[in-house]
Amino acid sequence: MDNQNNRNRNNNPRNNKNNKQGFGIILITTIITLFLVLGLYQLMPGKDPEEISYSKFLDMVEAGQVEKVVIGSDSIEITPKKKENTNSLISSITPHYYTGVMNDDKLVDRLREADVDVTQEIPKTGTMMFWNVMLTLVLPTALLVGALVFLTRKMSKGGGMMGIGKSNAKIYVEKSTGVTFKDVAGQDEAKESLQEVVDFLHNPGKYTSIGAKLPKGALLVGPPGTGKTLLAKAVAGEAKVPFFSLSGSAFVEMYVGVGASRVRDLFKQAQAMAPCIIFIDEIDAIGKSRDNAMGSNDEREQTLNQLLAEMDGFDTDKGLLLLAATNRPEILDPALLRPGRFDRRIIVDAPDLKGRVDVLKVHAKDVKMDETVDLEAIALATSGAVGSDLANMINEAAINAVKNGRQVVSQADLFEAVEVVLVGKEKKDRIMNVEERRIVSYHEVGHALVSALQKDSEPVQKITIVPRTMGALGYVMQTPEEEKFLNTKKELEAMLVGLLAGRAAEEIVFDTVTTGASNDIEKATKVARAMITQYGMSQKFGLIGLESVQHKYLDGRPVANCGEETAGEIDKEVMKMLKDAYDEAKRLLSENRDALDKIAAFLIEKETITGKEFMRIFHEVKGIPENEEKTQPSRIGMKEETSQDVIVLPDMSEENKDESINE
């Protein structure tokens, strides 16, 4: 088997290409080294002898300063004796001398008396002169010319110097991607759009008979982790055509023109193998808009221009399709997005409830699970999660099962995996003192109690004061009763009250405040500002849009669309809204102080309590019969409000742009 693998590697054209490129690099390195050695040899000190007079030569002999002489046909080379008390560096650069040959019959006798080593130079033959010229002149010249010819041929083929202009796209042929549409879940609309493309590649006559043409390109747009690259591979797997895959950054180099050369080479290869699919991931690396003169980049713009020209130049009748993926469509050049280049924009957004169930089933098909597992409960709890998040949760659940010595995954393992992904692992080595435990307990119970007292809030699923590795000293977990895509003004106001209830509980009970509410305040400020500037829920400003969201598929950062004076008024309105919410939280907690104290004491003792235990104590204190109890679904929630941080998996649905809305 090893011999067969070796033969396959030797017969691989890509390996041969790499060998040729490696040979070129070795050749050039050898030539450069040779010339460096020759240059250093020429620059070595003491290499060229110094001419002296014959009289001085005789004086040196009589003074015993000569160690060796070589008598030639027209000159005498003189090697003086090394001086004593000199280091090796000085001795290595001791000068040599030479003088002319005189008709002196007594010279040899004088040299022998002075104990000088005498050598007679043998005249060079024709053969020796020939090899001397070959090694010092002809061979270096031939190597230099050969290297120049080699580089010229490589560059004339569009490869550039040492192949840096060649496309380095990975080529998948037939089913070697290993992915089909069965492996993609939760993106039914995107799959439907791409299935039409696959059907066109399989049955072009069905479409061309009525005059339809294959789209030149399709742009996959969506947040990170939603499966854009997976969809592209699934298209290639379904179409069973060659699939060229590379990243947008693979085109850009420090040399201007290299990226354009790689684009030309990529489309040349693709046209030769048509029908095929080209997939460029993160195309925003080369497709940024060219209207910003301050941030211009000649190499990137030349690459983009070449890409635009190639997309205009290829014929769709050959079955050549360009797929690209990005999560920053707003920065792409308009010339790249127009019909005729990217004819379709396919949104690959975070999946809905049904989509999350399908994604969990895909990732759980190879995982052993017991009868307690309810994937729909996990899907309902993970609103806003993308495919990579859900895959990570399934994998963490399997790891938890192995760690606990079980052969199958249970619902408890999935429950713990969701917590690990959201707030990290429990920090067993962090031990809070008694006073800190009381503060954190009242803080978290304040969140939960206000949630139970408000009609428009989500039910409590769990309260804990066990520290987590992501900085949480404790958190409240709440679950939605159903998946929602809109939030009313009353729900947002209830959310503000709930976020500030932890700080309110600290002030009521301890008559002071701590740093634990920093993230609560940050989240509440974002919600209040969004209500005023984006949702038109302020009576003072009305329906004017004062902020716009940029990079909605990444951080969703809001950018102000108003002047400085209006921005100051917005800040005042935000402060007023937060103050009203804080006063309401203090009122609710003050009126229910007995329930706050009893639940906090129970939490300090148990460290972690369930939503049912929380509601049971609340109803006991209030004297509410069990049949009037607020429904508490036995499902995992998504909201984690901490004594230090509120860690929430953001809701990326189209209607809810602010990540705090669906906490």
What residues are annotated to the active site?
444
* Alpha helix ranges (H) inside 592-655: 593-606, 611-622
Q: How many CA atoms lie within 13 A of 237 on its CB side?
A: 16
Strand 170-172 relative to strand 75-80, pairing: unpaired
3-state SS assignment for residue 108: helix
Question: What is the DSSP-derived secondary structure letter of residue 121?
Answer: P
- Tell me which residue has tokens 């000088």: 116
Is there a contact between 287 and 304 (Cβ–Cβ < 8 Å)?
yes
Q: How far apart are CA 635 and CA 621, in angstroms?
A: 25
Question: What is the DSSP-derived secondary structure letter of residue 405?
Answer: T
Is there a contact between 506 and 443 (Cβ–Cβ < 8 Å)?
yes
Q: How far apart are CA 86 and CA 95, in angstroms?
A: 14
DSSP string, 271-301: HHT-SEEEEEESGGGT-B-S--STT--HHHH
Q: Which residues contact 479 (CB under 8 A, 6 or more apart)?
A: 380, 381, 458, 459, 461, 633, 635, 636, 637, 638, 639
Strand 117-120 relative to strand 66-71, pairing: parallel
Q: How far apart are CA 511 and CA 550, in angstroms?
A: 41
- Tell me which residue has tokens 């920053």: 328
Is there a contact between 376 and 404 (Cβ–Cβ < 8 Å)?
no
Taking CA atoms, 547 is separated from 489, 522, 531, 577, in Å, by 18, 18, 11, 18
- Tell me which residue has tokens 């199958």: 408
Query: What does the CA dihedral 329, 332, 334, 336 come to, rounded to 10 degrees?
Result: -100
Read off the amino acid at residue 161.
M
Q: What are phi and psi of 11, to 5 degrees?
A: -90, 0
